[in-house]
Amino acid sequence: MSQATPGAQDVTLIDLLDRIIDHGVVLAGDVTLSVADVDLIYLGLRVLLAPVERLPELTSAGGRR
């Protein structure tokens, strides 16, 4: 099974960013930097995705289970 990328934007990069920034395990402890500075990351994200206006605002349709 391989990824399909028919769109102009690299879906793989978007999926990677979705995963790595929003998810992943976090150990409690003395975290000097953490993604507590989420705003900084989202700033970077917007720059990264700006050319095709992907994810301008991360609105939501809620979780469907």
Partner 1 sequence: MTTTATRPRTEANPPTERAGAGARGWYLYGITRSGPLAAVLAEADAGAELDAGGGPLELLELSGLAAVVRAVPLADFSPPVLGERLRDAAALEAMVRGHNAVTAVVHRRQAILPAKLGLVYADAGEVAAALAAVEHTLLRQLERVDGCDEWAVHLYADPALIRECIATGDPALRGLRAECASARPGRAFFLERELRDRLDAAAREALSALAQEAFDRLAACAVAGQANPVPGPAADPPGEVEILRAAFLVARDDAARFEAALAATADADAGLRCEQSGPWPPYSFTAGAEEEAGLTAEGGEEPHMRAEAGEEAL
- From its phi and psi, is residue 51 left (phi > 0), alpha (psi between -120 and 50) or beta? alpha
CB of 45 to partner 1, least distance (A): 7
Q: In the chain, what is the greatest distance between 2 CA atoms, to the nearest angstrom?
A: 43
The Cα–Cα gap between 1 and 4 comes to 9
Q: What residues between 19 and 48 interact with partner 1 by CB under 8 A? A: 19-38, 40-45, 47-48
CB of 38 to partner 1, least distance (A): 4
Which spans of this chain sit near partner 1 (rule: CB under 8 A)? 1, 3-7, 11-13, 15-38, 40-45, 47-48, 50, 53-65
